[in-house]
Amino acid sequence: MRYKTLTSLLAVIVLTTLAVSATAAQEQGAEPQHEKAHLRYRFVDLGTFGGPESYINAAFSLGSPNQINNRGTVVGAAATLIPTPPNKQICGGPDGLVPFVFHAFAWQDGVLADLGALPGVECSQAVSINANGEIVGGSGNGVIDPVGGGIEEVRAVLWKDGEIRDLGTLGGSESTAVAINNRGQVIGFSTNAIPDPFSLLYFPAGITNGMQTRAFLWHKGQMQDLDTLGGPDAQAFGLNERGQVIGISYINSTPNSTTGVPTADPFLWTEDRGMIDLGTLGGAWGSASALNNRGQVIGTSSLAADPAACFTGNDPQNCHPFFWDNGKLIDLTAQSGGLIVNANAINDAGEIVGLACFPNGTCHAYLWRSGVMTDLGALPGDCFSQPFAINSRGQVVGQSFSCDGSGRVFLWENGSMIDLNALVPPGSSLQLDNTEAINDRGEIGGEGLPPGCSLDTKCGQAFLLIPCDGEHSDEKGCEDEGDARTAAIQNNPAPANQRPTSAMEAGMTVGEIEARMRARFGLHRGLGAWAHP
């Protein structure tokens, strides 16, 4: 099914997770000053447009840095009751299995607004919103892609002032937008009209007569091709407020002997220097996955010992996450003393979160800061945990998993990991299942399961947790019903006060942990631009 492959265009999963925390910049070199923890949260079920499912675009599948802006506006997609017409590429929800048309939404102040799609019975999804309320994503356009085997084209779109705008392409059939910053700059990738047998968009679908895939920056009506590192293709995955762009690019046009495709390196693009090759850790496949407003970059790279490791995703020991800062590429695994499985997100303080397997046999969320790695632990009784986002306050959200693969949603802050379901009022409409985003106000977005809904039945709905402080303290749902957070901490103490179950003690290998993550989320780690469910 081409939704699973060619819609790398709209559901690309980069290096396990692709997240950027678009946070306010902090002074270079200063230690982060994290604020007081929130006491209570107001729970909001965002609902749908009549269909069974809604979702906030997962950071690890779309690369969107701004699913919730600092005005509290949330973007994503929700199912209507319109049956899915044939050959629609981005219908059916995040995994293509719900037989209804999905439309992009924006939620604010209790209102779920249908952003619509391009003309016709089309599907759309919103992936990023800036401080000005400008939203970008993708929409079907009703035209069959002449290269894509009878599947409809997808176009990058911008929603502004109640109108939808097709941003066009670089001469090919397909494009999608990945992020927008507060300057109104949009990045994404598009095909052009030049044939390319190793197209970063078409080749994963088994199409060798595809067109070149190129990273673009769109601003004030103009779509700019960001060029490449010397090869035919590039894809953009992240954007900061300075207009810097990161992603992956072929460095030549010659297939190498290890991957069978041209060698690919991570890049950083700047307005004054163009595309900069960040280098690799010795392998033939590397990609940048996130950056902050200081221009610091995280990603993954294969090693010389196994040059194709990040391309195949078969051996995490030879596919390492990296941290790039001012020309210096740091191997996070080599520095950690343990086996880091991924680096998922970075904030403007240079704090990195991801999944690491430590020498004591635990595989947990970690926080890396200035060369020091902190094991964030897991919720009591769980085997492993995985973080998805970090904000400028150092708050981390993610999931904690039992040894059978069932998960709980956590918030980690100031040394404590809290089960977020403990903060949801009794009788709420959803059981929180995963988190995708947290903004600098501490608002948390994700997906929950209504009563009777399971992961297999595709009926989850987007939620938002709003801190009950300041302007929200008197709102409905924020009434003082006791200090719920204190109770949550008492029931879920900090990692230092507990001994989480070791995944290794439970007989789980790193490969088995990754397999369970793939089964739950469709994650294929280390495949750069070509990772897809």
Coil, strand or helix at 224? strand
Q: Residue 402 class from Cβ within 10 Å (0-12 exposed, 13-18 middle, 19+ buried)? A: middle
**Would you call 342 helix, strand, or coil by DSSP?**
strand
Q: Is 184 left (phi over 0), alpha (psi -120 to 50) or beta?
A: left
Tell me the sheet residues that pair with 300. Answer: 287, 321
Q: What is the pLDDT of residue 88?
A: 87
Query: Cα torsion at 196, 170, 214, 156 (round to 10°)?
Result: -120
Closest CA to 255 of 216, 223, 285: 285
- Average pLDDT, whole number, for the chain? 82
Using an 8 Å Cβ cutoff, are 320 and 300 in contact? yes
**Range in 94-103, 223-232, 291-300, 480-489 with the lowest mean pLDDT:** 480-489
Tens digit of each residue's pLDDT (9 = 90 or more) over 84-143: 988 888 888 877 889 999 999 999 999 999 999 999 999 999 999 999 999 999 999 999
Mapped onto helix, strand or coil, the DSSP state of residue 312 is helix
**Dist. CA 412–CA 69, nearest whole Å:** 21
Least confident among 179-193, 447-461, 494-508: 494-508
pLDDT digits (tens, 9 = 90+) for 364-376: 999 999 889 999 9
pLDDT over threshold 60, residue 276: yes
The model's confidence at residue 315, banded by pLDDT at 50, 70 and 90, is: low
Average pLDDT over residues 56-66: 61
Going by pLDDT thresholds of 50, 70 and 90, the confidence category of residue 4 is very low
pLDDT at 299: 95
pLDDT at position 57 is: 81
341 vs 45: which has the higher pLDDT: 45
Domain boundaries, the chain: 1-18+55-225
Mean pLDDT, residues 249-259: 96
**Tens-place pLDDT, residues 341-372:** 899 999 999 999 999 987 777 889 999 998 89
pTM (2 d.p.): 0.86
Read off the tokens for 463: 């939620």
Q: What is the pLDDT of residue 424?
A: 81
Judged against a pLDDT cut of 60, whether residue 11 lies above it is answered with no
Q: What is the pLDDT of residues 461-503, one digit of tens each?
A: 999 999 987 665 556 667 654 455 445 544 444 443 333 444 4
Query: What is the reported pLDDT for 12?
Result: 29
Range of weakest confidence among 270-274, 448-452, 505-509:
505-509
pLDDT of residue 470: 64
- Tokens 């469709």 sit on residue: 522
pLDDT classification of 29: cutoffs 50, 70, 90: very low
DSSP β-ladder status, 54-55 and 396-401: unpaired
> What is the average pLDDT across 266-277?
98
pLDDT at residue 456 is higher than 90? no
d(CA 275, CA 357): 34
Q: What is residue 426's predicted lDDT score, i.e. its pLDDT? A: 77
Residue scoring higher pLDDT (235 or 499): 235
Residue 386 has pLDDT above 60, yes or no: yes
Per DSSP, the residues of 262-299 read EEEEEEEEETTTEEEE---BEEEEEEEEEE-TT--EEE
Higher pLDDT, 64 or 118: 118
pLDDT of residue 64: 53
- pLDDT for position 115: 98
Q: What is the pLDDT of residue 1?
A: 25
More confident residue, 318 or 49: 49
CA distance 453 to 223: 43
- Amino acid 8: pLDDT: 33
Per-residue confidence (pLDDT) for residue 343, from 0 to 100: 93
What is the b/e burial string over 364-379, where b = at least 16 CB atoms within 10 angstroms of the residue's CB?
Answer: bbbbbbeeebbbbbbb
- 20 falls in which pLDDT band (50, 70, 90)? very low
Residue-wise DSSP of 115-167: EE-SSSS--EEEEEE-TT--EEEEEEEEEE-TTTTSPEEEEEEEEETTEEEE-
Reported as a pLDDT band with limits 50, 70 and 90, residue 457 is confident
* Mean predicted confidence (pLDDT) in 504-509: 48
Question: Which candidate, 37, 46, 19, 23, places its Cα nearest to that of 464?
Answer: 46
